Structure 1
Amino acid sequence: MTLSFVLLLIVTITYFINRNQFKQSIWFGLATYFMVMSLGNLSVEVHNHLNYDKHYTHQYSISEAKFSKFQLRILEVIKPNIFNQRYIAEIVTINGKSVFGDILLNIGKDSSFSNLEVDDKIQIFGGLQELYRPLNPHQFDYQRYLENHQIYAQIYSKAEFVSVLSREKHSIYGYADYFRQAINKGLQKYKYSASELAVINALLLGQRQDIDKELYADYVNAGAIHILAISGLHIGIILFLLKWLFKPLMLIKHGRYITAFVILWILWSYAVVAGLSPSILRAVTMFSVITIGMYLKRPYNIYNTLAISAFILLIWNPMILFEIGFQLSYLAVIGIVAIHPLLFARLKTPYAFPNKIITLITVSLAAQLGIFPLSIFYFHQFPGLFLLTNVVVIPFLGFILGYGLLIFGMALMDVPKSLLTDIFGDIISLMNQFFKWIAEQDVFIFRDIPMNWFLVIGLYLIILLFTRYFISKAFNKLVLAMVVTCVFQIGLFFNQFWYSNNNEFVVFHKSRHSIISKNSRFHLQVFHNLDSLKLKSDYSIANYRVGNFIKTIDYQSIQNAYHFNQKQFLIIDSLGVYKNISFKPDYIILSQSPKINLNRLIDSLNPQVIIADGSNYKSYINRWHETCKTRKRLFHYTGEKGAFILKEN
């Protein structure tokens, strides 16, 4: 903090020294750079909950998971899974002792238990548990995702151990949730289907937890998922509607200031009601700066506006930088601002209507170029029909949003069901059917595209340098872009060489089943005991294939023995047969809960390591672990340590 204050003082002094000088020095820029870096570091330290002694991680041993009494306050309702209702909650007390910090709360589904809402204060008995880390290679790291949101533990409990102490609303998030609930209660009398209501909530309120997997996948595969995430597109349309609606205020005295204030108040109120997600925060902050400049007659530069909004958000919450939505939303806007004018200038016609279609196409292309490398890195797929999706739907999105806000007003005023409300439901249903049809065109959906950080950075450098060339048409910029492209191609060769030497033997974790693989020079042999349906729905092999740039896969049934890297593997399954083995295995893989005496097995075969996969009973695992501990043998259970991986020397 002292360093930041000193740097701020230096920046102030150098500013007043340099502002009247004809020839500027570098000191103001350097001081500003170091001040911003210092502020960023200070913001991270201040916002890191682990730096405070009253955080629950300093008051409670999570590894011991002692049964305790907790008082919690519900912060957010998130998407439930098959077995549990799930919430983000803040710990208020543990056994009467005041603490703070956020956790993931899982409550077993019970028809007699009413779902909790934001700001509900509850008492619950249970124990804090560690977050589940990824158990298979290249699996989504949900633990890291939660820790980026300052969540370091979870509680599993049954409804019978939960008692509600208070349902009083006292925070802005609680009132926002109450407002959303009131809208939904009003919408229920309009008899919308579950899918229609889920899309309405996502489209206009930013709440996607009620969308089922199939419908969500349709929007993803159609390249229309941005429609369900309130972002710059939605806020821009709402700003346009508000500007038209409040145009009469410009006729009165100080109308510009009143209009700007009213619009800013409405935008930020809407952001709060919609949940303040990273994309909403970015969009509302950016359009707030634009609104101020527009109504106060101040010039603004879109790049400066983006930088200011990002700076404000990162000071408010530096961990938002790691949000996928934050990254993609800024890159999409930068792509539109930088690339769209270049594309439109080369495609525009003398006619207004074709130019509107061309604008939709060029904006969509520019946004896709802005997010393409990073979206492939995160999602490993590309919707080939995104242009058709955007050209058909986006022209009507403003009408749909305006119509939806009108329906919300009618729902809040308890206006009865009518033709007007039915038409809106039909529009949403038609949109869902359209995206479902687009998603069914599998030939245009490119899945399982491998990508790593080297490729992401290289592609962005190429896009940036070619964009700079087309802006200035300078020969030296073209040379630089071509040189970087050549270096990127050389890098691709080394990337291939690196992964071609990534040969390994993997025992995956799969509950109640066994999956083993051998990776050798872009070819993967998979040995498993899954049926065809479960094999198709299993992501462990798909994630591994994409993460290791695998080109071909061969599926086979599980064998009894394997040889890899001059090491012998023996699988002992439910039959428990291991006698009359003609070799001495280095590794034993226990599968399907074999009824064996592990002491006798160790005496007979003398393996170096015992591996137990996810197909074994937990009681067997505990017994085997104790035996290995006594016999001083390495024991690897995939359900605790993750997949067992042996790399080639």
Structure 2
Amino acid sequence: MNRYSWIIICLAYIIGLLATGLFYFSTNNFSGLVFLKTAIILALLIIIAKFYSKLKINNNVWLSAFFIAILATVYFNLRIPQPQQNDISHLVTSDKSQILTVTGKVLTEPRLNSNNKITFWLQAQEAKEKNSNNSQTLSGKLYITLPLLESNNIYPKTILAIEGALYKPKAPNNTTQFNFQKYLRDRGSFAGLTGFKTVEKSEPKWGWYLLRKRIIRAQVKGLGSPLGQLVSSMVLGRRAVDLPEDIRNLFIKNGLAHILAASGFHVSLLLGVILKLTNFLDEKKQLIVSVVTLLIYLGLTGFSPSVIRAVIMGFAVLVAMANKAKVRPLGSLLLAATFILLLNPLWIWDLGFQLSFLATLGLILTLPILEDKLDWLPSNLATAIAVPLAASIWVLPLISYTFNTIATYSIIVNLITTPLITIVSLGGMLTSAIALIVPSLGSYITWVLKYPVLLLIAITKFFTNLPSSTLAIGEISLLLLLIIYGLIILTIFNQKCQNNWYLILLIIIGITIIPLRYQQANLSQITILDTSNKPSIIIQNSGKVILINNTESKSIKYTILPFLASQGINKLDYLVMSLEPRQNYQQILSTLQSQIAIKKLFIYGSDLAKSNKNSDLGSAEALRDLILDKMEQKTTIPIELNSTITTNSLAINTVNNSNTLQLNINNDRWLITNKLSSLNTTQSEQQNILLWLGQELDYATLNNFEGKVAIAKKIEPPTNLNKSLQFYTTDRQGTISWTPHTGFITATEKAKRNNTLW
């Protein structure tokens, strides 16, 4: 077979893996899916055949490619993790966690999470119940969480016994919420253990983690924290380093997450330096030194897909150089991707792998075009501008599709910081190599990087503090994503489109933003999210957005903000909160304002009336001072107290200055409260819909409500009710949305409607 035949074979395998994303797989409908996927793959291969008709590919190659694509779907589904019969997850037989002592082998280094606890993976071997001497042999991979004080002397490949609560993660109730259950399942785990303490530890053995620790310690000693961790992360990747969350988020928000992940950029720098330093050696010795260096770097970074791909491409370059052959970048990239996906086909849906592949593809296809367009600049400057721009063009659409947001100044920040990133990365690699041999000398030399690192952080902070540094663009459909990449490819291969690139850019912006803005301007929707102990309500009405929040900052971060991003919402016209002694206003505002603008703060509650009655001044100013004292900070956000909110077809007001809100929209009247008993029967009879903000809603309370719909986090089974009442519970049904046209619809029903076509 010729080179083009192998290209067809590799593409067929990758297309077969990509086809698995079009349908949900289960063993019950596998045969039907195979036929459907066969049709799709066949159509794609025919298109490729037409496109490459001049290549005169043998019919046997096309037939082989067809069957390889089918086998790829089978191989993918066979590699989907399934719990074994003795998997430790089977010990969890109810919704409640179980207290056990689990013994197993540590698989990864412990890492610090956002809750200031350590996490790592453990291969379970045996477990026993509390106050029991009988243990049972088990298997399975566990996600471990431990208090920070228990993090000492935990190393990969060591045996560890942990006492804690075994649990099975649940699927999220809100569609935009992080799916922890899927996160574990994709990594071959079906349970987690919240550890209380370590019972027994074995002595650490040799491993790559000891070398990583040697490097990190030396760089932290030389630069202090967090500068040392940042340099280590830029060399080894953030998976190998406990980088503080604020620094990590700072770079992610500016579109610089790639510099914290070991990737092709780092491998290219390292390989370039090694080839330059070994230029005096003969070709055979130079090849050996380069290969050994890349393998060592691969081990130090933890064998991530992006580094594996880059190292394979680096090997291709070295082999071509040794044989005096021309390097074919596209062929090397395709070969690297195929090899990686043969090792683990599930990586086809790994975001890190996808971004790494697209960034490299952008450098191969787009970089020469950009350098040609910038030929009026000095060559070094043109390359410095073209490299981050070429990569950004290809990765930004996928990032926007995945996270529903875009770093507004990402391209500018990448252009400005590329020289600094190169200096720090090269300096970090040099000090890492020295630290492996002489840690004290590595620490001493690392201080040279202090001011470049400080400047890099200052630049990212500057752009983070600019208005609209992160822009929510809403959910992008898969079809729209494919159209965007189609337009990018068309621009690369069509000279006329290249000359009118700005029109293509305007088209992409138009098809992304205009439909969303039109929908927002005409949307009337109420969404009830399942958050902590009480639901939260997001109201969208004719371009106005109101958040009624009674939850903590953790739910805001992981539930509310992702939903707002999915809706393309960048500002709240009103943030509505009740005046409660335990309410942490400062933390709530800080978490929200980190990603979204707030125009007005609406405070309501019976405490306002009490404070106003007991106040000597009895004025709104005195009440504002009371609220600001509770917030423990002064805020520039205007505050409204127990007033009325009105939009085009909506009105929200408090009921008798209590902890109850009344919402009128169209012909529906909502009662939003946690103290229904405080209202008289006449008031409750006027409402159609009850939204309960307390804990469980019992049927005795419901007997006082004469409406048609009741919504709460939990509702006690209403066995004694003698009236027709429709119930919705967020803890079971998840996100609940309402529009004038569709009425109430749960997340499950909405997903079924959206997937009917498939």
- The separation in 2 between residues aligned to 1:529 and 1:199, in whole angstroms, is 36
Matched, 1:134 2:172: yes
- The separation in 1 between residues aligned to 2:293 and 2:224, in whole angstroms, is 29
Within a 5 Å distance, the mapping from 1:306-317 to structure 2 comes to: 306-317=333-344
Greater mean deviation of Cα atoms: 308-317 or 397-406: 397-406
Match of 2:565 in 1: 546
- The separation in 2 between residues aligned to 1:565 and 1:150, in whole angstroms, is 49
Q: 1:303 aligns with which of 318, 327, 330?
A: 330
Superimposed CA distance per residue, residues 405-453 of structure 1 (whole angstroms, 9 cap, x where no aligned partner)? 332244334454686342233443343233333433x147252222412
Within a 5 Å distance, the mapping from 1:328-347 to structure 2 comes to: 328-347=355-374
Within a 5 Å distance, the mapping from 1:35-54 to structure 2 comes to: 35-50=67-82, 52-54=84-86
Q: Residue 158 of structure 1: SS of its match in structure 2?
A: strand
Name the CA shift for 1:530/1:394 in 2 (closer, same or farther; >3 Å).
same
CA contact (8 A) 1:219 1:225 kept: yes
The code of the aligned residue for 1:80 comes to N
Match of 2:736 in 1: 644
- The separation in 2 between residues aligned to 1:345 and 1:469, in whole angstroms, is 15
Name the CA shift for 1:81/1:213 in 2 (closer, same or farther; >3 Å).
closer
Superimposed CA distance per residue, residues 52-86 of structure 1 (whole angstroms, 9 cap, x where no aligned partner)? 54544567647564444422222222332325322
Match of 1:359 in 2: 383
Q: 1:420 aligns with which of 415, 427, 445?
A: 445
CA contact (8 A) 1:561 1:568 kept: yes
Q: 1:581 aligns with which of 682, 688, 691?
A: 682
- The separation in 2 between residues aligned to 1:246 and 1:493, in whole angstroms, is 55
- The separation in 1 between residues aligned to 2:153 and 2:665, in whole angstroms, is 52
- The separation in 2 between residues aligned to 1:339 and 1:319, in whole angstroms, is 28
Q: 1:120 aligns with which of 155, 158, 163?
A: 158
Q: 1:199 aligns with which of 222, 227, 230?
A: 230
Within a 5 Å distance, the mapping from 1:387-402 to structure 2 comes to: 387-395=411-419, 397-402=421-426
Within a 5 Å distance, the mapping from 1:598-617 to structure 2 comes to: 598-605=698-705, 610-613=710-713
Q: Residue 106 of structure 1: SS of its match in structure 2?
A: strand
- The separation in 2 between residues aligned to 1:133 and 1:232, in whole angstroms, is 35
CA contact (8 A) 1:522 1:549 kept: no
Matched, 1:469 2:505: no
Matched, 1:505 2:505: no
Superimposed CA distance per residue, residues 200-234 of structure 1 (whole angstroms, 9 cap, x where no aligned partner)? 22011213552223222332344332222111111
CA contact (8 A) 1:344 1:359 kept: yes
Matched, 1:516 2:537: yes
Greater mean deviation of Cα atoms: 332-341 or 413-422: 413-422
Match of 1:268 in 2: 295
- The separation in 1 between residues aligned to 2:508 and 2:216, in whole angstroms, is 55
Match of 1:526 in 2: 547
- The separation in 2 between residues aligned to 1:78 and 1:643, in whole angstroms, is 32
- The separation in 1 between residues aligned to 2:408 and 2:512, in whole angstroms, is 27
- The separation in 1 between residues aligned to 2:407 and 2:202, in whole angstroms, is 47
- The separation in 2 between residues aligned to 1:528 and 1:341, in whole angstroms, is 51
The code of the aligned residue for 1:422 comes to W
Match of 2:399 in 1: 375
- The separation in 2 between residues aligned to 1:69 and 1:539, in whole angstroms, is 30
- The separation in 2 between residues aligned to 1:189 and 1:550, in whole angstroms, is 43
TM-score by length of 1: 0.80
The code of the aligned residue for 2:328 comes to N
1:536 CA displacement: 12
CA contact (8 A) 2:473 2:567 kept: no
Match of 1:457 in 2: 482
Name the CA shift for 1:60/1:388 in 2 (closer, same or farther; >3 Å).
closer
Greater mean deviation of Cα atoms: 455-464 or 71-80: 71-80
Match of 2:244 in 1: 212
Within a 5 Å distance, the mapping from 1:246-325 to structure 2 comes to: 246-250=278-282, 255-256=283-284, 258-325=285-352
The code of the aligned residue for 1:546 comes to A
Query: What is the number of equivalent residue pairs in this alignment?
Result: 596
The code of the aligned residue for 1:196 comes to L
- The separation in 2 between residues aligned to 1:490 and 1:422, in whole angstroms, is 49
Q: Residue 136 of structure 1: SS of its match in structure 2?
A: coil
Unaligned runs of 5+ in 2: 1-8, 13-53, 129-134, 577-601, 605-653, 655-660, 743-758
1:641 CA displacement: 4.3
CA contact (8 A) 1:87 1:104 kept: yes
Q: Residue 229 of structure 2: SS of its match in structure 1?
A: helix
Name the CA shift for 1:399/1:85 in 2 (closer, same or farther; >3 Å).
closer
The code of the aligned residue for 1:107 comes to L
- The separation in 1 between residues aligned to 2:504 and 2:150, in whole angstroms, is 67
Match of 1:156 in 2: 194
Greater mean deviation of Cα atoms: 630-639 or 205-214: 630-639
CA contact (8 A) 1:522 1:550 kept: no
The code of the aligned residue for 2:711 comes to I
The code of the aligned residue for 2:692 comes to L
Unaligned runs of 5+ in 1: 1-7, 12-21, 614-620
- The separation in 1 between residues aligned to 2:338 and 2:182, in whole angstroms, is 24
Match of 2:670 in 1: 569
- The separation in 2 between residues aligned to 1:457 and 1:177, in whole angstroms, is 40
Match of 1:19 in 2: none
1:235 CA displacement: 0.4
CA contact (8 A) 1:62 1:129 kept: no
Match of 2:754 in 1: none
Matched, 1:88 2:121: yes
Superimposed CA distance per residue, residues 616-649 of structure 1 (whole angstroms, 9 cap, x where no aligned partner)? xxxxx6xx53x44676987655355433333442
Matched, 1:143 2:181: yes
Greater mean deviation of Cα atoms: 563-572 or 75-84: 563-572
- The separation in 1 between residues aligned to 2:319 and 2:343, in whole angstroms, is 20
Match of 1:3 in 2: none
Percent identity of equivalent pairs: 19
- The separation in 1 between residues aligned to 2:333 and 2:707, in whole angstroms, is 60
Matched, 1:104 2:143: yes
- The separation in 2 between residues aligned to 1:566 and 1:247, in whole angstroms, is 80
Superimposed CA distance per residue, residues 138-177 of structure 1 (whole angstroms, 9 cap, x where no aligned partner)? 2333433332222322121211xx32342343xxxx7111
The code of the aligned residue for 2:159 comes to K
The code of the aligned residue for 2:242 comes to D
1:245 CA displacement: 2.4
Could you say what the CA RMSD is over the residues aligned between the two structures, in angstroms?
A: 4.0
CA contact (8 A) 2:692 2:712 kept: yes
CA contact (8 A) 1:72 1:121 kept: yes
Q: 2:203 aligns with which of 154, 161, 167?
A: 167
1:460 CA displacement: 1.1
Name the CA shift for 1:584/1:71 in 2 (closer, same or farther; >3 Å).
farther
The code of the aligned residue for 1:249 comes to L
Match of 2:274 in 1: 242
CA contact (8 A) 1:381 1:445 kept: no
CA contact (8 A) 2:531 2:551 kept: no
1:464 CA displacement: 1.2
Greater length-normalized contact order (CA 8 Å, ≥ 6 residues apart) = 1
Name the CA shift for 1:263/1:33 in 2 (closer, same or farther; >3 Å).
same
Name the CA shift for 1:59/1:603 in 2 (closer, same or farther; >3 Å).
closer
Name the CA shift for 1:55/1:300 in 2 (closer, same or farther; >3 Å).
farther
Name the CA shift for 1:564/1:93 in 2 (closer, same or farther; >3 Å).
farther
CA contact (8 A) 2:162 2:196 kept: no
